[in-house]
Chain A
Amino acid sequence: SQQGEEDPQALSIQEGENATMNCSYKTSINNLQWYRQNSGRGLVHLILIRSNEREKHSGRLRVTLDTSKKSSSLLITASRAADTASYFCATDSGAGSYQLTFGKGTKLSVIP
């Protein structure tokens, strides 16, 4: 079952613009993570935010978490063509065994 759902499914922006992707989930979580996947490759871990955190930064990435709304957003500032990829949110099961459930992803295209 899919826990996280990303929105939008696809996003196209010009280089230099900011890109915002959203993730909604259904049940309580311990943490939420964002991953990036270049076409035909494996996923790369970008950032993790714990359930007691509201905002986290890493370089050009900013992640927010609103547990009351069961939602998270990933902001990429000053986008570059190299940011073109699919971005996935993932939530843990919070049920003892540590598994991640991934959403369907947002496909980001950054046009030079």
Chain B
Amino acid sequence: DGGITQSPKYLFRKEGQNVTLSCEQNLNHDAMYWYRQDPGQGLRLIYYSQIVNDFQKGDIAEGYSVSREKKESFPLTVTSAQKNPTAFYLCASSTGQVVSGYTFGSGTRLTVV
């Protein structure tokens, strides 16, 4: 079955540490996205990538970094520069065409301890 997989489901980080969230898709989608979701705030775009080896900042990119070395993979690193990283992180992919919807992963809940 084709889909998008995020791991881990739960992640705990000590202050000052960098952590990397994994996102893998086998849908042959060109575009991939990272969103952050906080309670009552909806989804906010962190980074997106439309093709391999290229990505753009979204609305809240500060304190985050990404890479897109393979079409299937779009990992997100939450750096120590991110002041309030505790949140639910969602990865999504799409064909990149206007008329298609997004396919989402099941999310990673990051907690800073």
User: Footprint of B on A, CB under 8 Å?
Assistant: 1-2, 30-31, 33, 35, 40-45, 48, 50, 88, 90, 92, 97-105
Are the CB atoms of B41 and A48 closer together than 8 Å?
no
CB-CB < 8 A to A42: which residues of B?
6, 90, 92, 104-107
With A97-B56, A104-B42 given, is the CB distance from A43 to B102 under 8 Å? yes
What is the CB-to-nearest-CB distance from A21 to chain B, in angstroms, rounded to a whole number? 14
Give A30's nearest chain B residue, CB to CB: B98
Cα distance A10–B58 in the bound complex, in angstroms = 28
Are the CB atoms of A104 and B101 closer together than 8 Å?
no
With A31-B99, A97-B56, A98-B94 given, is the CB distance from A41 to B106 under 8 Å? yes
B11 interface residue (CB < 8 Å to A): no
What is the CB-to-nearest-CB distance from A59 to chain B, in angstroms, rounded to a whole number? 16
What is the CB-to-nearest-CB distance from A82 to chain B, in angstroms, rounded to a whole number? 18
By secondary structure, the B interface counts as: strand
Give B33's nearest chain A residue, CB to CB: A99
B1 interface residue (CB < 8 Å to A): no
CB-CB < 8 A to B90: which residues of A?
42-43
What is the CB-to-nearest-CB distance from B109 to chain A, in angstroms, rounded to a whole number? 8
Are the CB atoms of B42 and A100 closer together than 8 Å?
no
With A43-B102, A99-B33 given, is the CB distance from A88 to B107 under 8 Å? no
With A98-B96, A101-B45 given, is the CB distance from A45 to B40 under 8 Å? no
Cβ contacts A to B, 15 pairs, < 8 Å: A2-B42, A30-B98, A33-B101, A35-B102, A35-B104, A42-B90, A42-B92, A43-B104, A90-B102, A98-B94, A99-B45, A102-B35, A103-B42, A104-B41, A104-B42
What is the CB-to-nearest-CB distance from B40 to chain A, in angstroms, rounded to a whole number? 7
B17 interface residue (CB < 8 Å to A): no
Cα distance A105–B92 in the bound complex, in angstroms = 18
Cα distance A97–B109 in the bound complex, in angstroms = 28
Are the CB atoms of A88 and B43 closer together than 8 Å?
yes
B21 interface residue (CB < 8 Å to A): no
List the 10 closest A-B pairs by CB distance, nearest first.
A42-B104, A45-B101, A104-B42, A102-B43, A43-B104, A42-B106, A102-B42, A30-B98, A42-B105, A42-B107
